[in-house]
Amino acid sequence: MFQLHPRLAQDTFRLGDWPLCRLLLMNDVRFPWLILVPRQKQVSEISELAARQQQLLMTEIMAAERVLRTAVPVDKINIGALGNIVPQLHVHIVARQHNDAAWPAPVWGHGAAIPYNKTQRQRIMPKLQQAIDRITW
Amino acid sequence: MFQLHPRLAQDTFRLGDWPLCRLLLMNDVRFPWLILVPRQKQVSEISELAARQQQLLMTEIMAAERVLRTAVPVDKINIGALGNIVPQLHVHIVARQHNDAAWPAPVWGHGAAIPYNKTQRQRIMPKLQQAIDRITW
């Protein structure tokens, strides 16, 4: 059975399940930052997925980007599959702005996350949820 | 007509052309590091490619990973599409090792590249080329 890695569970809010992946929001108010986690057991690399799942993952990454573009301002999208620290396969889709806290550096390993406060969370969650509701499979 | 961004041309060696992308080797001996550049005009985001090209890009990313796994030791593959500095769409596929110069941090923005010397280049290029020759489309 699929179980979200405890570190991912701790660092994120759950947004929902798509055909292949669980969709998460990183709890870091510095960057609108989604994470896709294929609901598979013990997969660390995209190459371990079946070819059909790899293609579906690309489709879901593009859908996550559309969610971000609908919900928040975006100057550039950053996409990454690293997994050097958390071994469970997960893909980052990050909305970058030219004046964000790390620009133009990558967000990974850049300072410490600043968790959303209640007001900030109540502002972004409905926007993301509305954008997610527009995605059809 | 497709033209490789001068910064990418300067920082890499050309390995060949695949159906969608030009395949490059980053000139940084610290990490075996491939770059795929779709041979398209003025594309900055994967989402700007047609859906069929997005799927082909995923296929070529997986092929680049196979090339690395055939040619060099790999503990983890890191994949990233950032483009915060070089606006031409390009995807990084990096072979990471637990004892490499940046582990477990991302390679992007980590110190300065160390160019291959002639001996090092003559060692890795045939290995990569042989691995590339095994890929069929």
pTM as predicted? 0.97
What are the phi and psi torsion angles at A36 (to 5°)? -105, 130
Assess B54–A contact: CB distance below 8 Å, yes or no.
yes
In whole angstroms, how far apart are CA A2 and each of A40, A89, A90, B29, B58? 6, 12, 13, 38, 24
Q: Which fold has domain A6-98+113-133?
A: HIT family, subunit A (3.30.428)
- Contact state of A81 with B81 under an 8 Å Cβ cutoff: no
> What residues in A contact B104, CB-CB < 8 Å?
84-85
Q: Give chain A's largest Cα–Cα span.
A: 42
Q: Give chain B's largest Cα–Cα span.
A: 42
Q: What is the arithmetic mean of pLDDT over A86-95? A: 98
Domain boundaries defined on chain A: 6-98+113-133
| Predicted pLDDT of residue A1 | 86
> What is the dotted CATH code of the domain comprising B6-133?
3.30.428.10
- Say whether pLDDT at B22 is over 90: yes
| Predicted pLDDT of residue B1 | 86
- What's the CA angle centered on B113, arms B115 and B118, to 5 degrees? 10
What are the phi and psi torsion angles at B69 (to 5°)? -65, -30
Crossing angle of helices B51-71/B118-133, nearest 10°?
A: 120
pLDDT in tens, B41-74: 999 999 999 999 999 999 999 999 999 999 999 9
- Contact state of B78 with A80 under an 8 Å Cβ cutoff: yes
> What residues in A contact B45, CB-CB < 8 Å?
65, 76-77
- Average pLDDT value for chain A: 97
> What residues in B contact A106, CB-CB < 8 Å?
80, 82, 84, 106, 108-109
Nearest Cα residue to B82 out of A106, A37, A101 = A106
Q: How far apart, in whole angstroms, are the C-alpha atoms of residue B99 and residue B77?
A: 14
